Structure formats: structure tokens, C-alpha cells
């Protein structure tokens, strides 16, 4: 019961912070509380949101994925390569992007489980390998001339941005999976105590492999969305995206030691980071200062949270 209450308190606290910053921003700037700006925020948080949901799975198993940004670039380039003007069947480039992402995630998972290498090292390796592959396949240049079929993927349906719909769908599915699937429970158990989970009859390697694959799949999706939005496959895109994603998840109350955390928390973390990014832009803060402020806010939020949960 106590853990539940603390969760509620945590979520309520985050919600309150998001709300207060929102009020402050609408007072401080004229443009924050406009429909066009909020739509823009929604578009911007979608990519980080999709990545954050993916990395939640991995963090819950007490793992980590540092390769997200590079995988976004690689799957974006792959997607763009198959979406040149004149090709009409949009499912092909999308599937290619998702497949490339999943393959990267699976590779991470195989090295973590079968080879037993720490996730930090494996995904650090994948971070440079995927970036290198993206540069090789694109020849170091952005892959342009993308067909409208794909760029439409970043458009609207009835005024709602498609990337936001993707994010919402991904988050809902992930929430449902973690809460109502046997495998979701297994993910929590492995993060809580891997050896005990194995002794309780859980196939630890299979479940971890699945987590890394899902994380890769969602990184692939983020790559596709990014390519559609920017209308190019950028081999240099997505640098440090993993950090924003992991920060959002941790702000949302997920333990880096695994076994504790929720998708709802991740959503709130994503919103907070998106709001801060947008607010700093609107207030005309230079990007150099933005980086410093964001870092301080991330560490401060987690620090406050830890203090709160200890007392």
C-alpha cells in the first residue's frame, strides 16, 4: 500500500510541476499557450516519447541502451534509402526502418544475454557501430529526394499530428503490455532480482532479448518518424537522443537498478522535458545555456524525488 501511495504522490508531484511550469510559461511568453505552439510541442516530444517508452523496457530489466540515438540515425537513413521519389508503396521504407532498428536491438540483446557482456558496454559499442553504418550507407551525406508518401507520415489526421498518434499508440500498448501481460510481469521480476526470477522458472534470457528488441524496434520507429519530419535521412541525426530518453524515464520514477517504474511515469517525464525545451526556446535562451539548465533540472528533479521517497 505504501509503495502505491508513494507512486501516486510521485506522479501527482510531477504533474503539479508540469502544470506550474506551464502556467509560468504562459505568463512569461505570449506564444506558449497557443494551439500552434502546443501542436509543435506535441510533435517534438513524440520522438523522445517513443524512445523513452522503448528504453523503459530495458531499464526495468536493470539494463541500459546507449545506442538509441545512433540507431535512430541508421534506421532513418535506411528508411530514406527505400523511400526515394517515384516509389509509392510507403509500407516498404517504414518496414525497413523498423526492421533495422529491431535488428540493432536484437544484436544488443544477444550480446547482453548469451555473451554476458554488461549492457553499458554492449550498447556503447552499438552506439558507434550504428553511427558508422549510417555514415557508410549514406556516404556521409543526407539522403534526400524522399517521396511525399513518406513525408505525409509526419502530417496530421484531423488536426492531430501523426507522430503524436504513434507515440500515444506506442505508450498505450506498452502500458497494457507491462500491466496485463505475463511477460510484462517477468520484466519487472528480472529487474527486481534476476537470480530469483531464474530460480522461479522464468526464461531470463528470452525476456531480456525481447526487451532489447522492443527497444530497438521503437528506436527504428523514431528514426522513421524523424526522417518523415525532416524529409531527409540524416546520418548525423539523433546525437544524444538516448540521454533525453533515459532522463525522461528516470524523472518518471523508474529505478536505474531495475524492477521499479511505470509507463505513466515515463509519459510525465517526457512531457516535462518537452515543456522545458520548448519554454527555453520561446524565452530566447541560447542553446548553450539551454544545455546547462536542462542538465541541472534533470539532476535536480531526480534528487528531489529520491529525497522525497526516503523521508
Partner 1 sequence: MLQALELRKDFGGLTVLQPTSVDFLPGEVHALMGENGAGKSTLMKILAGLYQPDGGQIKWRNQVVTFRSPHDALTAGIAMIHQELMPIPHLTVAENITLGAEPTGTLGFIDRKAQLVRAATLLAELDSDINPARLMHTLTVAQTQVVEIAKALGRQADVVLMDEPTAALSDLEVAALFRAITRLKARGVAVVYTTHKMDEVFQLADRITVLRDGTYIGTHLARDLSPPKLIEMMVGRELSDVFPARGQASQDVILEVKGLSREPAYRNISFKLHRGEILALSGLMGAGRTEIVSALYGLQPTFEGEIWIRGQLSWIRSPADAIAAGIGMVTEDRKGLGLIPAQSVQQNITLSSLHKLSLGPLLDHAREKKEASAQISQFAVRTSGPQQPIHQLSGGNQQKSLIARCLLHDPDIIILDEPTRGIDIGAKAEIYAIIQKLAQAGKAVLLVSSELLEVLSLAHRIMVIRQGDLAAELDATKTDQVTLLHHAMPL
End-to-end CA distance of the chain: give it in Å, rounded: 16
- Binding of residue 116 to partner 1 (CB under 8 A): no
CA pair distance 8, 295, nearest whole angstrom: 25
Q: Is 200 in the site for partner 1 (CB under 8 A)?
A: yes
59 touching partner 1, by CB under 8 A: no
Total of chain residues touching partner 1, rule CB under 8 A? 27
- Long-range contacts, 303-311 (Cβ 8 Å, 24+): 305/10, 305/13, 305/251, 305/253, 308/9, 308/10, 308/13, 309/6, 309/10
> CA 235 to CA 112: how far, in whole Å?
26
Least Å distance between CB 23 and partner 1?
35
Look at the alpha carbons of 50, 23, 287, 230 in this order and tell me if their dihedral is positive or negative.
Answer: positive
Contact between 1 and partner 1 per CB under 8 A: yes
> Is residue 182 near partner 1 by the rule CB under 8 A?
yes
Considering only residues 36, 195, 287, 311, which one is a binding residue for partner 1 as defined by CB under 8 A?
A: 195
Q: Which stretch binds partner 1 (CB under 8 A): 34-42, 103-111, 184-192, 271-279?
A: 184-192
Q: Is 183 in the site for partner 1 (CB under 8 A)?
A: yes
Q: How far apart are CA 238 and CA 228, in angstroms?
A: 14
Exposure string for 148-157, b = 16+ CB within 10 A, e = fewer? ebbbebbeee
Q: Cα-atom radius of gyration of the chain, to the nearest Å?
A: 19
The CA distances from residue 221 to 80, 106, 216, 240, 287, in Å, are 13, 15, 9, 17, 27
4 lines the binding site for partner 1 (CB under 8 A): yes
Least gap, CB of 201 to partner 1 (angstroms):
4
Establish if 259 lies at the interface with partner 1 (CB under 8 A). Answer: yes
Interface pick for partner 1 out of 29, 137, 168, 188 (rule CB under 8 A): 188
Question: What distance in Å separates the CA atoms of residue 242 and residue 208, rounded to the nearest whole number?
Answer: 19
Would you count residue 9 as binding partner 1 (CB under 8 A)? Answer: no
Q: Does 7 sit near partner 1 (CB under 8 A)?
A: no
Pick from 195, 295, 291: which is nearest to 250 by CA? 295
- Contacting range for partner 1; rule: CB under 8 A; set: 103-111, 131-139, 186-194, 233-241: 186-194
Determine, following the binding rule CB under 8 A, whether residue 157 of this chain makes contact with partner 1: no
Query: Which range touches partner 1 (CB under 8 A), out of 1-9, 72-80, 130-138, 286-294?
Result: 1-9
| Among the listed residues 34, 203, 308, 309, the single contact to partner 1 using CB under 8 A | 203
Residues that bind partner 1 (CB under 8 A): 1-4, 180-186, 188-189, 192-193, 195-203, 255, 259-260
Amino acid at each position: 500500500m505504501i509503495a502505491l501511495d508513494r507512486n501516486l504522490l510521485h506522479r501527482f508531484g510531477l504533474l503539479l510541476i508540469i502544470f506550474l511550469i506551464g502556467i509560468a510559461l504562459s505568463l512569461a511568453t505570449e506564444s506558449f499557450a497557443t494551439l500552434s505552439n502546443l501542436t509543435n510541442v506535441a510533435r517534438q516530444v513524440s520522438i523522445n516519447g517513443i524512445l523513452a517508452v522503448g528504453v523503459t523496457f530495458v531499464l526495468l530489466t536493470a539494463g541500459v541502451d546507449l545506442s538509441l540515438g545512433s540507431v535512430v540515425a541508421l534506421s532513418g537513413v535506411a528508411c530514406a534509402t527505400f523511400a526515394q521519389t517515384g516509389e509509392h508503396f510507403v509500407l516498404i521504407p517504414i518496414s525497413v526502418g523498423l526492421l533495422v532498428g529491431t535488428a540493432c536491438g536484437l544484436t544488443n540483446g544477444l550480446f547482453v544475454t548469451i555473451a554476458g557482456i554488461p549492457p553499458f558496454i554492449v550498447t556503447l559499442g552499438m552506439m558507434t557501430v550504428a553511427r558508422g553504418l549510417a555514415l557508410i550507407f549514406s556516404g556521409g551525406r543526407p539522403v534526400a529526394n524522399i517521396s511525399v508518401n513518406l513525408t505525409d507520415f509526419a502530417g496530421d489526421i484531423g488536426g492531430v499530428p501523426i507522430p503524436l498518434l504513434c507515440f500515444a499508440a506506442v505508450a498505450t500498448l506498452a502500458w497494457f503490455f507491462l500491466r496485463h501481460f505475463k511477460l510484462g510481469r517477468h520484466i519487472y521480476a528480472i529487474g527486481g532480482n534476476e537470480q530469483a526470477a531464474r530460480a522461479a522458472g522464468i526464461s531470463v534470457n528470452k525476456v531480456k532479448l525481447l526487451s532489447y528488441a522492443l527497444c530497438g524496434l521503437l528506436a527504428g520507429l523514431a528514426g522513421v518518424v524523424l526522417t518523415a519530419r525532416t524529409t531527409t535521412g540524416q546520418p548525423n541525426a539523433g546525437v544524444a537522443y538516448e540521454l533525453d530518453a533515459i532522463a525522461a524515464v528516470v524523472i518518471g520514477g523508474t529505478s536505474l537498478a531495475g524492477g521499479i517504474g511505470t509507463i505513466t511515469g515515463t509519459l510525465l517525464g517526457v512531457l516535462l522535458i518537452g515543456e522545458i525545451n520548448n519554454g527555453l526556446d520561446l524565452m530566447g535562451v541560447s542553446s548553450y545555456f539551454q544545455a546547462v539548465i536542462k542538465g541541472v533540472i534533470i539532476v535536480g528533479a531526480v534528487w528531489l524525488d529520491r529525497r522525497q521517497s526516503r523521508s
